[in-house]
Amino acid sequence: MPEHSPAPTPHRAVYGFAFYMLFTVLFFIYVAWALLPVEFGLHSYLPDKYFAVFVPFLVLVFAWFFAFLIYPAINLSMTVDVDSIASVVDPKLVLPKGTAFTSWSQLQQSKENRENVPKQPSPIDCNLCRTFHQPVTRAPIAPLRFLDLQEVNTAYYN
């Protein structure tokens, strides 16, 4: 079993170094193509110098369109509609597993089930000091659950 380490594995290190060398050489060829004069003689085999400026500009324009138009459009297409129940409540947090959401009354019933809190235990007769003690019981930390919109509005605006 290999040991977990932040260092790359040997084959990844070799590939990384090879790609680093490849792209360094390609960058120097690109700069030479863009900056050497036409009289140097290499330009009969290469595209016009116009493309040395146009291609990076085209890549930047495409990146801008993707970042500011396409990517937000994809995210908006995956969000639920404003009038959908999923924009207000996550039925998977509230309803039992496998139950389909049909009405708001289902959510209210599950809220009433949550409000059933256990009562305080009876006092304990202490043999040491011959008195009655109320046992200290703290409520456990509540599990992750859905906060009803009515509860939130009551807490903030009541």
Backbone angles phi, psi at 124, to 5 degrees: -105, 135
Residue 37: give the domain boundaries: 7-46
Q: For residue 69, tell me if it sits in a domain.
A: no
Decide: 61 and 113 in contact? Cβ < 8 Å.
no
* C-alpha span between 6 and 29 (Å, rounded): 34
Domain count, the chain: 1
Is residue 62, in this structure, part of any structural domain at all? no
The residue type found at 42 is L
- 131: in domain: no
Per-residue pLDDT at 2: 58
Q: Is residue 41 part of a domain?
A: yes
Label residue 141 exposed, middle or buried (CB < 10 Å: 0-12, 13-18, 19+): exposed
CA distance between the termini of the chain = 60
Tens-digit pLDDT profile for residues 62-97 = 999 999 999 999 999 988 888 777 777 776 666 777
